[in-house]
Amino acid sequence: MQTFDLEQLRTLAAVVDAGSLTAAAPRVFLSQSSVSEQIRKLEERAGQSLFTRSKAGVLPTEAGTRLLAYARRILALSDEAFRDLHGESLQGELRLAVTDYFRPGDLTRLLGRLGESYPKVRLNVSILKSDALRAAYANGEFDVGLAMNITGAASAAEQAAKAPVIRRESLAWLGATGMRLARGEPLRLLALPDTCSLHQYTVSLLRRRRVPYVLAHVASGVAGLQSALAAGLGVACLNESAVCDGVVRLTAPHGLPALPRVAFQFLPGRRGETEFVTRAREMLATHLV
């Protein structure tokens, strides 16, 4: 029976999290050459390339991303089984805040799967804008916070803490299926309120690039923004997992600037937090990919 090796899957997750084979080595207590060998063997077993390599590091291919999702679940179940058999099953109440940009179409399913895997953990989940999330977390209203950072714009505190990246996505210009941008007319921009960091980034980018626009619609949340996009009210800058029925990426949109990637990261753990919260954050990191 063909199966995947647990330690090779652990190495895969470490390489993705670290962004390079060299940086991953100390995380799995291996040399760089051993990490390379583990990934080579895993790619042989998978029958396809799992990473694209460049001078800047490595990025998972589509196959690598798919396998990573399984790997995190397998590793989490293995760890949970070990803890359970040693009388260390994860149990308690956790207050979790998640940015509403994070996998809007999948989050309910992911949380349901968490409930099945960790029935003794009572999750209280709030969906918030990233800035509101950070403020509430700073005030102690939540135990764990998952926020979105635009590449290069993470807060100094998060950079210093090297907050683990749970997921990376590209930003994209989105519009209704079949939409064509009219030349010479201002861009009809759809966005969340101006307190949203992505709204602020998008407006600043358009102004810097001197792209004329009008703010055609302001939605209260991502779901409302998706509805406005599907209705053809305009164009929005959103992360790729926000694509939904009736909404597509605009390919080579005329006159619109290129967009960076975003990283979804946990806010840094607090000094003196309980062991349960620390372990719960680790558990979430393996499931919310």
209, pLDDT greater than 80: yes
Q: What is the pLDDT of residues 232-259, one digit of tens each?
A: 999 999 999 999 999 999 876 667 899 9
85, pLDDT greater than 80: no
Sequence length of the chain is: 289
Q: Could you tell me the residue ranges of all domains in the chain?
A: 6-73, 90-168+263-287, 170-260
Which distant-in-sequence residues (6+ apart) come within 8 Å of 279 by Cβ? 90
What's the pLDDT band for 88 if we cut at 50, 70, 90? low
DSSP state of 102: S
The candidate with the shortest Cα–Cα distance to 161, out of 126, 194, 137, 186, is: 137
Which distant-in-sequence residues (6+ apart) come within 8 Å of 171 by Cβ? 150, 237, 238, 239, 240, 259, 260, 261, 262
What does the alpha-carbon distance between residue 261 and residue 101 come to, in Å, rounded to a whole number?
Answer: 13
Residue type, 200: Q
What CATH fold (topology level) applies to the domain 6-73?
A: Arc Repressor Mutant, subunit A (1.10.10)
Q: Which CATH architecture group holds 170-260?
A: 3-Layer(aba) Sandwich (3.40)
Q: What is the pLDDT of residues 129-146, one digit of tens each?
A: 888 899 999 999 999 999
pLDDT (0 to 100) of residue 87: 60
Q: Quick check: do 6-73 and 170-260 share a fold?
A: no
173, pLDDT greater than 90: yes
Q: Are 199 and 192 in contact (CB under 8 A)?
A: yes
pLDDT (0 to 100) of residue 40: 93
Residue type, 247: V
pLDDT (0 to 100) of residue 19: 85
Q: CA angle 201-106-58, nearest 5°?
A: 65
- pTM, full prediction: 0.70
What's the pLDDT band for 126 if we cut at 50, 70, 90? very high
Task: Name which residue leads in pLDDT, 119 or 186.
Answer: 186
What's the pLDDT band for 162 if we cut at 50, 70, 90? low
Region 151-177: mean pLDDT is 70
What does the alpha-carbon distance between residue 24 and residue 91 come to, in Å, rounded to a whole number?
Answer: 30
Q: Two tokens at 115?
A: 């409930």
CATH number at 90-168+263-287: 3.40.190.10
On the 0-12 / 13-18 / 19+ scale of CB atoms within 10 A, 181 is middle
